[in-house]
Amino acid sequence: MRTITFWMLICLVFTGTVCADPLVSVQKTGTISAAQFNTRMKAVYGPLAPAPATGPTDLYKIRYNSHDGKGRAVILSGLLSLPRDGASKGLVVYAHGAFADRRLSPSRFTEVGKGSETESAVLAFGSGGYAVMLPDYPGLGDDPGVHPFPMGRVISVSVVEAIGPARTAARRQNIAIGPKLFLSGYSEGGAVALWTVRKLGEKPYASMQVTSAVTMAGPYDLTGATAQSLIAPTTDQATFSARLYLLSYLLHSVNKVDGVKLTTYVKPALAAVIVRVFDHGLTDEQIIKRLALAATLLGARNSVERVTTPYFLRVLHSVDASDPVIRDLLQNNCTDWSPRTKLLLICLQSDRIVVPANTRKAIQTMRARGIGADVVQELVIDNSRLNHATAIIPALTKARQFFDGK
């Protein structure tokens, strides 16, 4: 009789039937020699580089059964990085940051040398006895659907459901992975990782124990710190363009998933551009430039407020749950709960994109619930030369040290 896996058991609990095997396929996509790995690690991390790799690392694209933002069954993809000499320390599941260009999906990564977030994560955790699983998320990688940005609660389901397939894929390659499970993520992935920790502490997932987790620069307080920072004026054009991109990505997502009208929230000219730039094969840089040009033509040189509608500003400031966008954001806040897993929350003091108030709100709320520093710790990177994009390297270094027990 075929063994019922954890994922099948979940299906049995919720649907009364045993679902298909969670792992659909495994495809080897590349190999990184120890020399290549260590050369790139030194180039990317410099003096912060973790312990070197001692053997080659194989890369696998895996496809697995999961669920999209509406709970419908889908086949999702992701990248599994396996050190050929084994992963005795366990499995690190890493949740990536925001992008709309599915070519940046972790499962597309086949070699080092291009400076991507996927490369940085593989380098940070892929030596010293860790396997690394990087899910693509719904609406990215091979999934043709819509990515539910930035809904961490929704996306975390796909991360939870990648854990079993990752371990199964490793067994099929005869690579031993230790029993420990670690979670991490940056930016959008920081919130996804925190939601994943939360879900794994609830039924029916509670038996899948997390050893420790590090979440970095995440938008945990969507209706508070995140919302207010997105519409705050700034004199920095790059910050304005990034905030406009994130707001537009959010509205594109809820438009596709929930059917809301874009013109309810932004001016018609910007709404038209949002429709044209997402899901049409553009790079994120191209999307950002076209959105910024549209905003400039509308006279919004330093404030997203100038391209939004009075209605949207009102429901945003009042956190009006009768609005579908605000309701979605409220349901995906991840501050007001009581973790039992050992957690480290990292933020950048000078971050203008995902402001550190997100982390402060999470820490303050957890402390008010009686969660002490023995369970949840905070690390603030205070280096004004870093920004949201560049702070990921020291943050990943700290995450690796935390997992190593240092």
pLDDT in tens, 298-346: 988 788 888 999 999 999 999 999 999 999 999 999 999 999 999 999 9
Q: Considering only CA atoms, which of 76, 81, 55 is closest in space to residue 143?
A: 76
C-alpha torsion angle, residues 186, 187, 189, 193 (rounded to 10): 70
ω into residue 179 within 30 of 0, thus cis?
no
Residue 231 to residue 331: CA distance in whole angstroms: 20
ω into residue 204 within 30 of 0, thus cis?
yes
pLDDT at 261 over 60: yes
pLDDT at 15 over 50: no
Distance from the first to the final alpha carbon of the chain: 44
The pLDDT value given to residue 20: 57
Residue 362's CB is within 10 A of a number of other CB atoms, namely: 29
Stated pTM of the model: 0.93
What share of the chain has pLDDT > 70, as a percent? 95
pLDDT at 378 over 90: yes
pLDDT at 206 over 80: no
The pLDDT value given to residue 203: 72
pLDDT at 95 over 90: yes
Residue 214 to residue 186: CA distance in whole angstroms: 9
Under 8 Å between Cβ of 329 and 227: yes
What share of the chain has pLDDT > 90, as a percent? 85
Under 8 Å between Cβ of 66 and 76: yes
Residue 58 to residue 237: CA distance in whole angstroms: 41
Question: Rounded mean pLDDT of 183-198?
Answer: 98
pLDDT at 217 over 50: yes
Residue 164 to residue 167: CA distance in whole angstroms: 5
Task: Evaluate the CA torsion angle 282, 283, 284, 287 in order and state its sign.
Answer: negative
Residue 39 to residue 49: CA distance in whole angstroms: 10
pLDDT at 388 over 80: yes
Under 8 Å between Cβ of 40 and 113: yes
Under 8 Å between Cβ of 65 and 22: yes
Question: Over the chain, what is the mean pLDDT?
Answer: 93
Question: Rounded mean pLDDT of 33-59?
Answer: 95
Under 8 Å between Cβ of 95 and 192: yes
pLDDT at 140 over 70: yes
